[in-house]
Amino acid sequence: MTDLSLRLPDSRVRAVLNLGPKRAAAMKLPARFAEPELFADWDDEGQSSALYIEFEHGQLHLETTGCGIDHHFHGPRGEDIRSSPWPPRETAQLVAWGELLTADFHALMPGLLDDIQQAAAWHDAGFDLYVCEVEEPAQLDLIEAQVEGEFLTLPWLGAGSVANDHIEGDNHPIALLWGPGESEPDRPIAEAWIDPETEAPVTRALPGVDWNEIGLPADEVLVWLEGIYLNHHVIPDASGTLLMAVLDRLGGLDSD
């Protein structure tokens, strides 16, 4: 198991960004929707945006289309459901808020995402403030967010080379891929995913692997994979943390 004491300290990312009018922030949500988990995504190829709004009791997903904004619901664990898990009146308020937030986020793409990635790169390089460029005078927003420290992990000490990638399945699974020498890692040797009950990572070695060829015993590989999974698939990096803080500001969920 990963040594939870071997962790880098938290840090703070700060960025001055041009977020526009923030129409969703003017809406007041019912009390049950006071603390959603927000995430948004941008599809550069399709020029579309998606917003994910999650609560302990259900989820609302929205996506821009050529005709407007579509939405659908999921249960508490992400399972598909046909209708809202909330009362009709509160659902209507949440959907209206989500549509405004999605539209405002989409209107800022892809420039906002570029600024967020630049700000994260500045943070990773040790600078304490990023300021976006604007062509005309504008009301800018100072966004500050706490970035969780990563767990200290050793480099890969086995034979060959490794990579990890998402695979099909529930609970955000990834596969650890291995290749001999300097070849492209393409052979799955282990998997990791999130236990939905404990929200902790779970790992398993795949059958039929020659661990002598891998150069490390299976138990050491699984401990190493757990740390990699925590750092790259559980703990938000600076850009992901800043994106969530931006969505909170756009939605009026922060204290500023």
What are 88-110's pLDDT values in tens digits? 999 999 999 999 999 999 999 99
Same domain, 68 and 130: yes
Structure tokens at 10: 């938290």
pLDDT tens-digit readout, 30-77: 999 999 999 999 999 999 999 999 999 999 999 999 889 999 999 987
Same domain, 192 and 205: yes
Same domain, 55 and 128: yes
Contact between residue 245 and residue 236 where contact means Cβ atoms under 8 Å apart: no
Look at residue 59 and tell me if it is in a domain.
yes
Same domain, 30 and 107: yes
Give the three-state DSSP class for 131: strand
Look at residue 154 and tell me if it is in a domain.
no
pLDDT tens-digit readout, 216-237: 999 999 999 999 999 988 888 9
Contact between residue 53 and residue 98 where contact means Cβ atoms under 8 Å apart: yes
- Residue 255 binned pLDDT confidence (cut-offs 50, 70, 90): low
Look at residue 64 and tell me if it is in a domain.
yes
pLDDT tens-digit readout, 143-182: 999 998 888 888 999 999 999 999 998 888 999 999 999 9
Look at residue 204 and tell me if it is in a domain.
yes
CA distances from 23 to 20, 28, 104, 141, 228 (A): 9, 11, 7, 14, 39
Nearest to 73 by CA among 50, 46, 91: 91
Same domain, 245 and 131: yes
Look at residue 211 and tell me if it is in a domain.
yes
Beta bridge partners of 40: 51
Same domain, 82 and 140: yes
Cis peptide before 110 (omega within 30 of 0): yes
Same domain, 129 and 70: yes
Same domain, 139 and 166: no
Look at residue 3 and tell me if it is in a domain.
no
Same domain, 124 and 219: no
Same domain, 60 and 113: yes
**Total tally of structural domains belonging to the chain:** 2
Contact between residue 243 and residue 40 where contact means Cβ atoms under 8 Å apart: yes
Residue 125 CA, distance from chain mean position: 21
Look at residue 245 and tell me if it is in a domain.
yes
Same domain, 169 and 213: yes
pLDDT tens-digit readout, 119-148: 999 999 999 999 999 989 999 999 999 998
Look at residue 256 and tell me if it is in a domain.
no
Work out the widest C-alpha separation in the chain, in whole angstroms: 63
| Distance of alpha carbon 218 from alpha carbon 207, whole angstroms | 11
Tell me which residue range forms the domain holding 28: 17-148+237-251
Same domain, 128 and 47: yes
